[in-house]
Amino acid sequence: MIDKAPWITYRPELRVLDCTIRDGGLINNSKFTDDQVKAVYHACVASGIDYMEIGYKNSVEQFPRAEYGPWRHCEEEDLRRIVGDHKKVAPGLKLAAMADAGGKSDWKRQIIPAKDSVLSMIRVACYASQISEAVEMIHHCHEQGYETTLNLMAVSIVQEAEIDTVLQLAAKTPISAVVVVDSYGNLYREQIDYLVRKYAKSVEGMKKEVGIHAHNNLQLAFANTIEAIILGCNRVDATLMGLGRGAGNCPMELLLGFLRNPKFKLRAVLDVIQHTILPMRKQFDWGPSIPYNITGQMNMHPRSAMSFRASQTPDDYLAFYDRALSDV
């Protein structure tokens, strides 16, 4: 229809990361069963996905085992129970975990040398005010042999000057990518454009990539993800059926349908969605329902909408809207 239609081809350097178990763990305290995690793992292998983020490296003291499932700590023995001798068996898929700054992670102890782990990448997540610890964590992980990224969370509430400072500091670290993270699902395309260009400029000529992690509060997660791809983002997050906290994430099934790299196999993704993810709908709520639309539009953390959706009146949209307005 147009003279040039770049979307019918593909960029081989683009890498897809599945964060279903990690981001979804924010709904259920990471209490996925072994069978569920195995099914997602095998689907990632079969569909040609590049990275699977299998959980958090969070501290056992702060996130006790009695309350949180094993995918909140990603201890090596738990991981191996699912993936075996992963690096030998399925080297095409790299495993990742997320480590939070702000004291949530006991990273000096928890992050063992990469040669002894099934993990290949640690994504360091921080709020702007935690950037100093995040930089330390990145260096530590790098020294342990991991690939690293910096994920600056909730960017839609960070002041411009702070973003710039974070990017300046991040650029000096050995990260392979800096990720635009729209935690509140608040951003429109033009804001995504602006941030992707800013992030790209901050790492220009350094062989670092820009990533995108979108939330679906305004039904824009997929749209904003492909927008970022068009602008050159080569690290792309998605989850199966959009499973993730609150409104959820960019749906993997839409992303793989958009990418034209023949190495990606949509059928394996549909298979695990049908047999493993869809049944979870009976257990918990995610996706862009109206309370999440409202927090997204108001640039608020989704926690009020999550607790409302878990209440006795999850569809009393008016009550939620009136309360949200009066809280401002």
| Residues contributing to the site for a second copy (CB under 8 A) | 1-2, 7, 156, 160, 188-191, 194-195, 216, 218-224, 226-227, 230, 241, 251, 253-254, 257-258, 266-267, 270-271, 273-274, 278, 290, 293-294, 297, 315-318, 321-322
Question: What is the nearest approach in angstroms of a second copy to the Cβ of residue 206?
Answer: 24
| Residue pair 40/51 in contact by the 8 Å Cβ criterion | no
Residue whose CB is less far from a second copy, 278 or 310: 278
Question: What is the nearest approach in angstroms of a second copy to the Cβ of residue 287?
Answer: 10
Question: What is the nearest approach in angstroms of a second copy to the Cβ of residue 274?
Answer: 5
Residue whose CB is less far from a second copy, 4 or 108: 4
Residue whose CB is less far from a second copy, 81 or 189: 189
Residue whose CB is less far from a second copy, 318 or 328: 318
Question: What is the nearest approach in angstroms of a second copy to the Cβ of residue 152?
Answer: 14
Residue whose CB is less far from a second copy, 219 or 234: 219
Question: What is the nearest approach in angstroms of a second copy to the Cβ of residue 38?
Answer: 19
- Read off φ and ψ for residue 86, nearest 5 degrees: -50, -45
Question: What is the nearest approach in angstroms of a second copy to the Cβ of residue 9?
Answer: 13
Write out the two tokens for 242: 């959009």
Helix (H, G, I), strand (E, B) or coil at 315: coil
Mapping DSSP onto H, E and C, the string for 185-216 reads: CCCCHHHHHHHHHHHHHHCCCCCCEEEEECEC
Residue whose CB is less far from a second copy, 147 or 227: 227
Write out the two tokens for 190: 């033009």
Q: What string of DSSP letters covers 116-164?
A: GSSEEEEEEEE-GGGHHHHHHHHHHHHHTT-EEEEEE--GGGS-HHHHH
d(CA 30, CA 21): 7
Helix (H, G, I), strand (E, B) or coil at 277: helix
